Structure 1
Amino acid sequence: MMDGESKQQHVHAVFESIAPKYDMMNDVLSFRRHKAWRRFTMRKMDVQPGQSSLDLCCGTCDWTIALAKASGRGNTVGLDFSQNMLNIGQAKIDKLGMSDQITLVQGNAMELPFADNSFDYVTIGFGLRNVPDIVQVLREMKRVVKPGGKIVCLELSKPTWQPFKGLYYFYFEKLLPLLGKWLVKKYEQYRWLPESLAAFPDLQALAELFRNVGMRNVKAYPLTGGIAALHIGTKGNEGA
């Protein structure tokens, strides 16, 4: 097992190198379901006009842009530690003419450069399994969200029912790294993905971590047979 610092360096190198093909590989990874999962998430979030959002591990900014559009003119910030990912995201934002509304920040999800109680929503999409300390990131998400605001995690998860579970793990552990090799010549980087999921909490365990950091009214939704999950928790009005 890697220590936290080694994991952070390894993940950073992985995402810097796969950035140009990241959007295409997301389609492959999720059986083209990731956009539907995000639409479901946005319906559950019900972002209102003017509300602010922070999107952690924002990658190439598809979710960041969706949050900004849903809020009308609400302040929207995307944070990622990979500058290569942010560069691709910034190009999308510029093309849409949304650079006045969306700010991108290179930074660490475990040490957020924002004040307490700053955002109506703090989201993380397909990034929580890659951080060195899940609980620390959840604590930081809770810290910077406003009282009454929500923290939201959309992430790959662990199917529980057979035969789907067996087929999925065969795909994820055996075929996926080969697809990475064939499609983007990145076998080692895509081998990281099943390794990252193996150590990640399942649906109920992650919901319990949300509760452990003090989130209220935690909801957990399995998606597409449990290969992904949505978790939403609300911060109490007592503050951080």
Structure 2
Amino acid sequence: MNTNSSGTPSHTEEQYDHVQSVFQSIANRYDFMNDIISFRRHKAWRKFTMKKMAMKKGDTALDLCCGTCDWTLSMAEASETGLITGLDFSPNMLKVGEKKIHEKHLENRIRLIEGNAMDLPFEDNQFDYVTIGFGLRNVPDLEKVLKEMKRVVKPGGMVVCMELSKPTWQPFKGVFNFYFQKIMPNLGKLFAKRYEQYKWLPESLALFPGREELASIFRSVGLQQVEAYPLTGGVAALHIGIKENRHV
């Protein structure tokens, strides 16, 4: 197993290619499967996150691993006039997102870019918010991504991560693990005809830091005022950090 400088496990290059192929293959069923797998809780998690973010009119944002753009669209609607940028490594996921953006007539306020979250094509201090939703556990080096997020967010701006997590209290922990490891891949086989792809999800979570450990990594890359919120008993978590504003 490869690890980064803090000892956090990182995926090999082969696994990275595998993850990309997974999302390429499930793009057209991604939203439908999200509703099934999370029992539609992902919508409530996003609503809670948007409340914590408290975006104002004209705010700009970069949404990494934007996928089919649900969060990207939420931020565009909250900002009203600000430019929102979505970045993802899967052309097929971006195509689904483009269709949603077109349906809401938001082409002039949302731009989509195919790219790598570990090597962002933006100058420093560009965005009021930089977000990543259900993508951090899939990157080869999560610390590198967080450092890139911190680099491109403005001083005083917010870095936000919404991600699956690991419940810590029993018996819920045992029930969740059984569902996630045994039942969910079979739901993927039944509804999306993709067993191996949905088998990857519990494998990726097994290597991913828990809620408090991820909060510590946020602090280690230099983010301030770090907050971590468990969602639905800890099956997911929201992490927020602020880039230091040297002018304050």
- Is TM more than 0.5 here? yes
Alignment equivalent of 1:95, drawn from 103, 110, 127? 103
State the number of aligned residues.
239
Residue 4 (structure 1) shift: 2.8
Preserved CA contact (<8 Å) 1:145 1:235:
yes
Alignment equivalent of 1:49, drawn from 43, 53, 57? 57
Preserved CA contact (<8 Å) 1:154 1:231:
yes
Deviation beyond 3 Å, 4+ runs, structure 1? none
Tell me whether 1:212 sits opposite 2:209 in the alignment. Answer: no
Residue 28 (structure 1) shift: 1.9
SS of the residue aligned with 2:229?
Answer: strand
Counterpart for residue 151 of structure 2: 143
- Please, what TM-score do these two structures have when normalized by structure 1? 0.98
Counterpart for residue 122 of structure 1: 130
Amino acid at match of 2:218: F
Tell me whether 1:152 sits opposite 2:160 in the alignment. Answer: yes
CA distance in 1, matches of 2:215, 2:114: 28
Residue 30 (structure 1) shift: 1.4
Deviations 1:89-144 (A, max 9, x none): 00000111100000000000000001100000000000000001000000000000
Amino acid at match of 1:177: P
CA distance in 1, matches of 2:135, 2:37: 14
Amino acid at match of 1:76: I
Tell me whether 1:5 sits opposite 2:17 in the alignment. Answer: no
Residue 194 (structure 1) shift: 0.1
SS of the residue aligned with 1:104?
Answer: strand
Gaps spanning 5+ residues in structure 2: where? 3-10
**How do 1:129-208 residues align onto structure 2 when only pairs under 5 Å count?**
129-208=137-216
Aligned-residue CA RMSD (Å):
1.0
Tell me whether 1:234 sits opposite 2:247 in the alignment. Answer: no
SS of the residue aligned with 1:14?
Answer: helix
CA distance in 2, matches of 1:193, 1:238: 39
- Please, what TM-score do these two structures have when normalized by structure 2? 0.95
Amino acid at match of 1:167: V
Preserved CA contact (<8 Å) 1:157 1:197:
yes
Counterpart for residue 40 of structure 1: 48
CA distance in 2, matches of 1:68, 1:227: 27
Tell me whether 1:68 sits opposite 2:49 in the alignment. Answer: no
Preserved CA contact (<8 Å) 1:4 1:133:
no
Amino acid at match of 2:214: L
Amino acid at match of 2:193: K
SS of the residue aligned with 2:186?
Answer: helix
**How do 1:96-111 residues align onto structure 2 when only pairs under 5 Å count?**
96-111=104-119
Residue 203 (structure 1) shift: 0.5
CA distance in 2, matches of 1:84, 1:73: 27
